[in-house]
Each structure stands twice: as structure tokens, then as C-alpha cells.
Amino acid sequence: MVYLHKGRSLSRIAVIGSGQIGPDIALYFAKVLAPYGVQIVVVDVAAEALAKGKAKLEKKLAKGVESKAFTQEQQTQMLGAVAWTTEYPQIRGAELVVEAATENQDLKGRIFAQVEGLVGGDAILASNSSHLEPEAIFAGVKDRRRTTVIHYFFPAERNPIVEVVPGKDTDPTVTAWLLSFYEAIGKVPIQVRSRYGYALDPIFEGVFQAALLLADQGVATPKQIDAVQTKALGMTVGSFTAMNLTGGNPITAVGLDHYTSKIGPWFRTPASLKAAVAGKKAWETPQRGEAVDVPAELAQRITDELRGAYFGLCGEVIDAGLVSIADFDMALELALDMKPAFRFMNELGTAEALRLVQAYAAKHPGFPVARCIQEHGRANRPFEIPVVLRRDADGVAVLTIRRPKVLNALNQGVFDEILARCKAAEADPAVQAIVLTGFGTKAFVSGADVNFLAGIRSREQGEATSRASQRVVSAIEALRKPVVCAMNGLAFGGGNELAMACTLRIARKGQKVFVGQPEPNLGIIPGAGGTQRLPRLIGLERAAGILRTARPISSAQALEYGLISEEVDGDLVTRAVQIARELASGKRPRPQMPKGPLAGVPPQLPPVELGHLSRKVDEILCRALLDGARTTLAEGIEIETRAFGEVCATKDMRIGVENFLAHGPRAPAPFVHA
């Protein structure tokens, strides 16, 4: 058995190094690739390190079984997929090598000199370096076209971000394959231009330096700074706590000294950090649940300085052209657990952000005041941070909704951005058709962002919200150019409503949980056309069953019902592009959504088992279904809009949304049927 992805097959992966991060990388590969029979070989010259790494992996797998993250059978499969050895020849046949040894350039060079002679000429050679440039790591490798840095973040088996950092000799097709591969196995990869430290570590370590300078100046204690920092930068833990958790003092001390010459003169390793490394000292930080007293005036000073440092450091990365703002903001949130800097600056106002950066730079010689922050701040102009990305493939605009933290959930801003991208593609003479898809493999769109729904407080707000969504969905349906929806994962609620507005839909094969309208679980009904388009596509009876019970269907059922036209066992987007071209050229007939009344609409819908669901909400939903089915699609859309407003005025809507926010999607809401 092998894992196939875009022309490459993987049967064996080598992980070099069984220290802090190597076993975690191996664990992740085992979790996603063991079902395909892929073997992961972990190599370390020290038997003791191998034993510790194996014990670490086994402990995490045992905890996974205990927490029901996976079954004992899956645990056995993953354990069997990982081999541990001190013998480098055991990596023969590996198609991908990920080196995770100590951050030492000479050591990494020696490892790859040995590895290159053992694996095939097509094998990809990657280093999980946190700082070193790929040009330095792979200087001794004969064929550098297949080399790159793949930087994982702590903990590697759970943190979704990986920085893919090609060197100047890396073949672009290798970079593209790795970005696609990591997305396919559930990670969130970003491409970063080569520079010491890449894009994220100078932020992690630079913000720590800013915090440490405050402590060294006697402004506050590390404990106080950590307590303020969590609120100031939206972090779960402060920099001192993060250093303790990751054991980051030694590597940060080395990194900061190199940044002085590689990035700028503000960076340096403070004497207090050198002392902490020499003495193997942990920082004094707040204990879990501990209330730390910080006077308001002091808290404001710490907040302003840390924000000024954070914004300035992030602006420098963008000025250096290392990464796009969209990728960077996403990675700051997911990898470093920080409030995304550019979205944060937009919220505060970019003029205020510039003031904070300039104030910090005035106190700290050599600190950068980034050009991008100056330009936006002087005009108080917000940064553009797209979440709907476009790439063109031979005359087809491929639009990808990318919000991995919320499984590509929709809010009004995302709806509006989708429409803007579609209209731009419609107006582009080089574009013949459009493909709409989602990032990753879990979800096309998981539904509406519940925080967005929680803001609805009245019937009028509900109607306005529904109309705003309907305006976007109907505009997509009305586009002259065909739109193919490539449903890469589940499509719940607004995700399915968005998909139904497209010309046709295809899906990744074998999705057991695929399409659903879970709105009744929240005490609401669909508000973006679900009650009107679903009956016209699959019939009133089947649609009513899906809508009223909130139970999802599989991709196989969706194909049987006619909701999708094809299940794809292979590259979904490539197939969608092919279909889009066929539709645009007339080679394939363009399906039309039925716009008139449905035939044979019954006076009422048959009863269904509602369980805990609200009878009041079901009453409104049934009325919208029946009344809409008896009239045109356009009139039915207006019926749904009014019904959505009506349901937003019920007690059960508030109960459902608040229950979801407090307890999550699996806790049944205590509806009162009113």
C-alpha cells in the first residue's frame, strides 16, 4: 500500500532525530498515513534518545485512546507503522526525509551528506530547522532542487502550521507539491522566503525579548508581564510561560544574537537570558488560576510597549517580503496563539498602531518602523487581509475559502468577499469559468460563524441578515459564467446553501458526514436559500427530512439524491477545473435550477421525530417549505427571509445559540418550544 498525491507516492518516510520534536513529527505522520500502509522510520545514533522518543510517542497514543481521540485498533496500527533504529541504512526507499536533529548547521550538513547517498534521486530532503537558511543547511547536497526547510511548531502533532521555506535552488514543483501534500494531510502550510528565522520565530522570540527588556528595566516582574501580555496580545499564555513550556531559552538566546546581523540592531540576547540558559533556570510565571496584581497604569504601559513591539516586528517581516499578510496573520493566530497582528491593527485603527510602533522605536534605538505600517497608519487605512484566495488555472478562476480555525465558516465579511471575487472573475476576459472550494480536507464550509448569529437580537435584524446572505448567494447563482463547487469536505448550513447556488457540485469521494442543515439544533432555520433550493434540487420530501431533523447525509447519498453530480476519487479541484471548462465551452450542458413552483405540494408535511428540537422552530420551517414550494424561487426566497426573521424573535433561537456558545455543538439545547 502507498499514499498517492499529485503524481508522487509515499510508502516510507524517514524522520532523522528522536529528540524533542522528531517523535511528534513521526506521530503525526503515523496518524494520517498509517491507514495507507506508509512506514515511518525514526533514526537516531543515540539508543537512549530513541528509547525516550518511542516512550513519548507511546504515551501520547495511550492518552489518545483514553480521551477517545482514536480507538485501540488505530493505536495498534499507528504503533506498527513506526520503526525505531540507530542504523541509517534503514531509511533506504524513503521518498520523504524530514531531519529534526539539533539546530546545528554542521550536524545537519553531515546528516544530509549521509542521507543523500541512501535514498533515491526523487526523494525530497527536508530539514525541520527553526532558524537556519536552507542555502546553509543544504550547501553540501549535490542536488539541491529537492531540498527545503519544513518548520513545524510546538507541539508538532497538534500545531497545524508548517512553514515551507524553499532555498534559491529548490525546484518550484517540489515546493508546490509539499504545500499541497501538507494541506491534504491536515496541516496548514504557508510558503516563506528564505531568511534566518523565517517569518514566525522572529516574532515569537522578538516579543519575548521585548517582555524581557521590560523586566530587566525593572518596569514589572515576569509574572506581571505575562499576566498583562495574555490580554494585551490575545495569548493563552505569556512569553515567559511559553519559554518554560517549550524549553526555548537556549535556542532563543542563539537566535536573538544572529538576528542582530541578519535582521536588525534592536535584536540582541539580554544578559538575563544568557544567565537563565547557563543556570538552566525557568522563569517565575503565574500559576494556573493565579490572580496577579498589576496596577492599571502599569498594565497600560506594558500593554502599549508590547503592542508597539509586536506590530513593529510583524511589519518588518512584511516589508522584507517573506510572506503574504494573509498567510502571516493566519499563522500568527494558529502557530503562536497570538491575536493576528494586521487584523488587530485594523481593529485598533492603523493610525493608533503607527503611534504605538513609533513610541516603542523612540525608546529603543534600532527598532524598525515598518514602511507598510507608516503608509497605512498615516492614512488610517486598514490592511487588506483576504480569506478568499484566487489562483487562475488555464482560464478558470479557482477561489478557495480559507478560515481553517473555524473550518471555513461564513460571516457577512466572508460572504461579501466571495461575491467580490466572483464578480472580479466574471469581469475578467481571461476567465471562462469559476471553481469555488474550501481549504483543507475537513470542510468546504462548516456553516455560519455562530458568533455572527449571536449578534442577531430581533426579527428586523434577522431579516436584514438573511437578505444580506441571500443577496450574495443569488448573485452567484445569476453569474453568466459557470461556477463549479468542489466540495472538499463537509458542507453544513450556509456552506450547503452557498454550494446550491453554484452551477453544479462535485465532492471528494467517501465522505460519511457530508451535507447537513443543522440550523434547528441552534433554534433557527436556513436563511440563505436552503428551504427553497434544496427542495428544487432533490425533492420536497427528501429536503424536508434533511432540514427538519438536522441530520447530515453522506456524499454517496448526495450523489443518489442528485445534490452533487459526481464523487471524485483523486484530485478534486483538478476535476472541477476540467468540468468548468466543459461547461464554459458548451461541451457539457449547463444545469438549470428550477425557478417555478413545485408540482404535487401536499397540504402539510408528514410528521418526523424531532427529539429535543424545537416544535416552534419546526412549525416556522414547515411553513417556509410549503409556502415556498407553491410559488416561484424568487418569491420563496422572500418567504424564507421573513421566516428567518420570525424565528430570530423566538425564545428558542436565543436558547439554541447561547447553548452552542457555552457547551458546543454536541450538547442538546433545552428548548421551550416558544
Residue 228, sorted as left (phi over 0), alpha (psi -120 to 50) or beta, turns out to be: alpha
Spatial CA neighbour of 162 closest among 148, 173, 172: 148
* 8 Å CB contact between 171 and 182: no
* 8 Å CB contact between 93 and 11: yes
Specify the amino acid at residue 392.
Answer: D
C-alpha cell at 360: 516603542
Give 154's contacts (C-beta < 8 A, 6+ positions apart): 21, 245, 246
Give the C-alpha separation, 649 to 270, whole Å.
58
Choose, from 519, 567, 640, 646, the residue flagged as catalytic: 519
C-alpha cell at 44: 537516531
Buried b / exposed e over 480-519, threshold 16 CB at 10 Å, is: ebbbbbbbbbbbbbbbbbbbbbbbbbbbbeebeebbbbbb
Q: Is 519 a catalytic residue?
A: yes
Q: Is 95 a catalytic residue?
A: no
Choose, from 205, 305, 417, 497, the residue flagged as catalytic: 497
DSSP state of 90: G
In the chain, count of helices (H) and strands (E)? 27, 19
Beta bridge partners of 16: 43, 99
C-alpha cell at 308: 508597539
Q: Beta strand 8-10 with 12-16: parallel, antiparallel or unpaired?
A: unpaired
Give 639's contacts (C-beta < 8 A, 6+ positions apart): 532, 624, 627, 628, 631
Give the C-alpha separation, 305 to 232, whole Å.
10
The set of catalytic residues is 497, 519
